[in-house]
């Protein structure tokens, strides 16, 4: 089976979020399971030099973008058994950041056109094209509308994965002519029309054979007005082809027994290294080095979506009511950055704020803490809670999306659970949940130890999710 996996980013070449992790880890696992899957990405100028050195030139051709004829180079690299193709045009991809450019519609429109034209030229006609988020969502549309006359393409099946429905690629309908050269025949409600605009994501949903999301709960949530971001009607109309598949985490990278970013290694059977990591983390962050004080960490983008307004609201009350330490790592909205700096200055031995993007410190915070705070307002899947579970750090999460699907709430009567959850998105509910967690930590050490071992024994590898995707591909190819 041949799969072409198209994404706008993939670790370790370029990554801004969870999509980058998925676009690296899922193809790597599918190759292990015997699939001929190849990944196509833009050739951003920000690629690390160590990978540029191994890049091979494949071919080049011209792509018609509206009235403009644009250069398109195809480069290739093999890593971890996966063949990567990179689409090169420095006018579009030599930019200081991956996204947020004034001409993103044209940049990713060119990328989508180039993907469609590349397949025939490199002689790789896949059984399934798997696109991700709005940046590649026009590929299924183009295969149906613009390239249907190419006989080799007529059997290609199409899958789109929605990683975050909030970002949709909404632009003026003139782009159908000025970028895609298709005319207006797909500009209707069952196509790409969204009010008076064109919506890339809507087109991908309508023209794909299967729509997947990154958790079963999120698959249901985005069909509601609360979480659908204006596309709930389109998703309800296409509900028969929507499937939620929980993401995994890369077990080669996230392993407490081998992680090179940790000073001390540990396992579920021997947690002495975890205690040593806690002491090292406390010292690094300038907190009191004390094994008995519970340490709560949080790693993420400091935004409303991640629920940091609740943390901001209740930090003072928490620190004044309980003997606890809190450490936050991330960057984001200035309001939260400044609030957390204020708390760090006011409570220097009990609150630490590192306003930075630091992968090594993030791993140490997953591994060295007792509790991991992730009160997201919505969370399509979330990887941080799964990483913290893998490292025996029990999550405190809002019951939404992938958080609901991956964290088993503690049951005080049976002792079962892998973390602590709350349903009502409020500071009051968050603080009450933190208090419940601290009570177990301080007063029920045996129950706590059982939860830590249970958390570490859960399987969040990519093996099972990859099988689920393989089932999706097979169902389409064998129809």
Residues 448 and 468 grouped into a single domain: no
CA angle 103, 104, 108 (to 5 degrees): 125
| Prediction pTM value | 0.92
Residues 207 and 87 grouped into a single domain: yes
* Domains in the chain, number: 2
Q: What pLDDT score does 347 carry?
A: 97
- Mean pLDDT over 321-340 rounds to 97
Q: What pLDDT score does 162 carry?
A: 97
Residue 252 pLDDT exceeds 90: no
The candidate with the shortest Cα–Cα distance to 143, out of 169, 112, 170, is 112
Q: Is residue 351 part of a domain?
A: yes
| 300: region left, alpha or beta (phi > 0 left; psi from -120 to 50 alpha) | left
Residues 436 and 297 grouped into a single domain: yes
Residues 222 and 347 grouped into a single domain: no
pLDDT in tens, 171-192: 999 999 999 999 899 999 999 9
Task: Give CA torsion, residues 314, 316, 318, 320, to 10 deg.
Answer: -150
Residue 37 pLDDT exceeds 80: yes
* Rounded Cα–Cα distance for residues 373 and 330 (Å): 13
Residues 408 and 436 grouped into a single domain: yes
pLDDT in tens, 142-152: 999 999 999 99
What sections of 57-215 are H helices per DSSP? 90-93, 104-121, 138-145, 175-178, 200-207
What's the CATH number where 221 sits?
Answer: 3.40.50.2000
- Cβ–Cβ under 8 Å, residues 192 and 379: no
- Cβ–Cβ under 8 Å, residues 395 and 347: no
Q: What pLDDT score does 439 carry?
A: 97
Six token digits for residue 300:
């993420």
Q: Is residue 138 part of a domain?
A: yes
Residues 236 and 280 grouped into a single domain: no
pLDDT in tens, 291-316: 999 999 999 999 999 999 999 999 99
Q: Give the residue numbers spanning the domain of 330.
A: 272-457
Residues 382 and 237 grouped into a single domain: no
* Rounded Cα–Cα distance for residues 442 and 52 (Å): 51
CA distances from 52 to 60, 94, 111 (A): 17, 14, 20
Kindly tell me the burial class for residue 467, based on how many C-beta atoms sit within 10 Å of its own C-beta (0-12, 13-18, 19 or more).
Answer: middle
CA 32 to chain centre: 22
Q: What pLDDT score does 183 carry?
A: 85
* Rounded Cα–Cα distance for residues 104 and 441 (Å): 48
CA distances from 451 to 49, 389, 444 (A): 43, 10, 11
Residues 204 and 295 grouped into a single domain: no
pLDDT in tens, 263-282: 999 999 999 999 999 999 99
Residues 193 and 285 grouped into a single domain: no
Residues 193 and 54 grouped into a single domain: yes
């Amino acid at each position: 089976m041949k799969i072409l996996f198209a994404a706008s980013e993939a670790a370790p070449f370029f990554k801004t979020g969870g999509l980058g992790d998925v676009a690296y880890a899922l193809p790597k696992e599918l190759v292990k399971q015997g699939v001929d899957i190849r990944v196509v990405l833009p050739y951003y100028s920000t690629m690390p030099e160590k990978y540029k050195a191994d890049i091979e030139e494949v071919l080049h051709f011209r792509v018609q973008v509206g009235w403009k004829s644009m250069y398109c180079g195809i480069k290739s690299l093999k890593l971890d058994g996966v063949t990567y193709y990179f689409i090169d045009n420095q006018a579009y991809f030599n930019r200081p950041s991956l996204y947020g450019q004034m001409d993103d519609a044209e940049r990713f429109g060119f990328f989508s056109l180039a993907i469609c034209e590349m397949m025939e030229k490199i002689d790789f006609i896949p059984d399934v094209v798997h696109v991700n988020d709005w940046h590649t969502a026009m590929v299924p549309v183009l295969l149906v509308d613009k390239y249907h006359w190419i006989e080799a393409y007529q059997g290609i099946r199409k899958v789109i994965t929605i990683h975050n429905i909030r970002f949709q690629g909404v632009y003026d309908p003139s782009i159908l002519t000025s970028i895609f050269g298709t005319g207006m025949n797909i500009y209707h409600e069952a196509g790409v029309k969204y009010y008076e605009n064109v919506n890339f994501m809507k087109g991908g949903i309508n023209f794909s054979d299967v729509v997947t999301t990154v958790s079963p709960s999120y698959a249901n949530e985005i069909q509601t007005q609360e979480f659908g971001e204006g596309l709930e009607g389109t998703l309800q109309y296409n509900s028969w082809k929507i499937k939620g598949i929980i993401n995994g985490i890369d077990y080669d990278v996230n392993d407490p027994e081998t992680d090179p970013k940790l000073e001390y290694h540990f396992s579920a059977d021997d947690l002495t290294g975890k205690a040593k990591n806690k002491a090292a983390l406390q010292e690094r962050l300038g907190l009191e080095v004390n094994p008995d004080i519970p340490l709560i960490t949080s790693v993420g983008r400091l935004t409303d979506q991640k629920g940091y307004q609740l943390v901001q609201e209740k930090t003072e009350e928490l620190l004044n009511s309980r003997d606890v330490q809190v450490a936050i790592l991330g960057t984001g909205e200035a309001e939260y950055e400044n609030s957390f700096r204020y708390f760090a200055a006011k409570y220097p031995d009990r609150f630490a704020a590192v306003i930075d993007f630091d992968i090594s410190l993030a791993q140490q915070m997953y591994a060295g803490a007792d509790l991991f705070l992730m009160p997201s307002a919505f969370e399509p899947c979330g990887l941080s809670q799964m990483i913290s579970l893998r490292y025996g750090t029990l999550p405190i999460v809002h019951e939404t999306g992938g958080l609901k699907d991956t964290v088993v709430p503690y049951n005080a009567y049976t002792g079962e659970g892998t973390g602590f959850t709350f349903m009502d998105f409020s500071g009051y509910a968050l603080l009450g949940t933190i208090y419940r967690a601290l009570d177990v930590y301080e007063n029920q050490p045996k129950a706590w130890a059982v939860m830590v071992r249970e958390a570490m024994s859960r399987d969040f590898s990519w093996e099972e999710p990859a099988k689920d995707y393989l089932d999706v591909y097979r169902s389409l190819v064998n129809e």
